[in-house]
Amino acid sequence: MKPLSVGVAGLGTVGAGVVKLLRDNAELIAARAGRPIAVTAVSSRDRRRDRGVPVDGLRWYEDATALAADAGVDLVVETIGGSGGTARALVEAALAAGKPVVTANKALLALHGRALAALAEQRGVALAFEAAVAGGIPAIKAVREGLAANQIRRVAGILNGTCNYILTEMRTRGLQFAEVLHEAQKLGYAEADPSFDIDGVDAAHKLAILAALAFNRPVDFSELHVEGIRAVSAVDIAMADALGFRIKLLGIATRTEAGVSARVHPCMVPVASPIARVDGVFNAVVAEGDAVGRVMLEGRGAGAGPTASAVVADIIDIARGRVTPVWGAGAASLSAAPALPMERHRGAYYLRLMVVDRPGVIADVTAVLRDAAISMESMLQRGRAPGEAVPVVVTTHECEEAAMQRAITRLAALDSVLEPPALIRIETL
């Protein structure tokens, strides 16, 4: 059978990993794809750079969109990255030319996935993106195909390895956020500008994709509530431990009769929860379906090998003629369930206040919570230091986000509260 000719645009860590994997496992991949798969063209701006994989003899394009127009390329792999610019132009050009696309680009899909899915459906070609969420974990296939018979109620997970590494190191070594971030940058786990990761944006891109798949809705990044981990302190980590929790940055999307909610923020999860034990740079994805119950997948969420593994899995599917609609169903069958604002969220909360240790402070705090109709589950104050700052920690029973935010505004205004209150939501995944 005629080999499937692949063009790879972007020869960074992932792109070079794809070329290497297709060569190293060529015989195995051909058997599983039903035909040989060969990289015949590549696109990158710098021809001289050593990428650890030979590219001699391949057609080379400095203009990525020209790669899409190459008549000898059957399938385009996009590993350039970024939500617009060259990556978007390449994917649009390839789909418009009737060529299937495999991408690892979560930002592109989260922000422009609705239009790209419509173009792929119109042209009758695949747009595959297993590598865009959780690296080597087959999360997309699990949610879209493996759980296709289920009404999925919730999909959630640890979707950013950098944040999970930082929170793990803070807990196991008792270090502050800034210290661990600096170490993570030196080790290559965090970028020189880490804001994309630590502010929750990367995890939010991935959650937007998972939510669209789980609930058969067009992707809409603007619906998400997004918080990062900059405000998580060593005090919070220690208090969580004392209360029987671990702090994790989670993405959580839920469907109810009222609509769909999607949020990324630090969470306290019970130490006995399976997701609490996912440490370091590992990712995890949890899905809950009406028939299957709860399913959890864990593995490496980044790196050349895991991400290339996911890209090549998509190439094999396309070579076999297995094509699934981008969001699990055709555009005419997608859900129009409304998005629920964060103010409507109901849950339990951890609240830490740094207060002046003097009589009457606790009464003031409890009065604010009482007036907001928030019921306390526990209160923890460690040590005494009359006249100095001490942490007071409150955990609450379930209440509405809007009520908690009103309470925080009032608490912050108390003259005995010395810094903005720290709030972390409690989740029982």
Neighbours of 118 (CB within 10 A): 14
Quick: pLDDT tens for 295-324: 999 998 878 888 999 999 999 999 999 988
* Inter-CA distances, 421 with 96, 178, 211, 308, Å: 51, 19, 30, 43
In 3D, which of 225, 189, 175, 179 has the Cα closest to residue 204?
A: 225
First-to-last alpha carbon distance for the chain, in angstroms, is 47
The pairing of beta strand 152-158 with beta strand 282-289: antiparallel
Among 407, 414, 353, 409, residue whose Cα is nearest residue 375: 407
Give dist(CA 193, CA 180) in Å, integer. 14
Contact in structure between 213 and 326 (CB atoms under 8 Å): no
The pLDDT tens digits for 35-79 are 999 999 999 987 777 777 888 889 999 999 999 999 999 999 999
- The string of DSSP codes covering 389-414 is EEEEEEEE-SEEHHHHHHHHHHHHHS
Tell me the catalytic residues.
206
Asked if 39 and 16 count as a contact pair (C-beta separation under 8 A), the reply is: no
State how far the Cα of 410 lies from the Cα of 82, in Å rounded to an integer.
41
CA dist 33 and 127 (Å) reads 17
Contacts 24+ apart (CB under 8 A), 270-276: 270/244, 270/245, 270/428, 271/244, 271/245, 271/246, 273/246, 273/428, 273/429, 275/156, 275/157, 275/158, 275/248, 275/250, 275/429, 276/245, 276/246, 276/248
Q: 413: Cβ–Cβ under 8 A, 6 or more apart, which residues?
A: none
Domains of the chain: 4-132 (3.40.50.720), 146-300 (3.30.360.10), 345-426 (3.30.70.260)
Give every CB contact of residue 97 below 8 A, 6+ residues apart in sequence: 68, 69
* pLDDT computed for residue 75 by the predictor: 98
Per-position DSSP letters for 7-66, written without gaps between them: EEE--SHHHHHHHHHHHHTHHHHHHHHTS-EEEEEEE-S-SSS--SS--TTSEEESSHHH
Q: What is the pLDDT of residue 422?
A: 96
Mapped onto helix, strand or coil, the DSSP state of residue 197 is helix
- Determine the pLDDT at residue 47: 74
The label of the residue with tokens 């400095």 reads: 62
What is the maximal distance between C-alpha atoms in the chain?
83
Mean pLDDT, each 10-residue run in order, the chain (429 residues): 93 93 96 96 84 84 94 96 93 97 96 96 96 91 94 96 95 94 88 93 97 93 96 94 96 96 98 96 96 95 88 96 90 91 96 91 94 94 76 95 97 94 94
- Determine the pLDDT at residue 227: 97
- For 256, the enclosing helix (H) or strand (E) is strand 245-256
Q: Identify the H or E element spanning 377.
A: strand 376-381
Q: How many CB atoms lie within 10 A of CB 384?
A: 8
Amino acid letter for position 345: H
The per-residue pLDDT for 189 is 82
pLDDT of residue 45: 83
Q: How far apart are CA 216 and CA 150, in angstroms?
A: 12
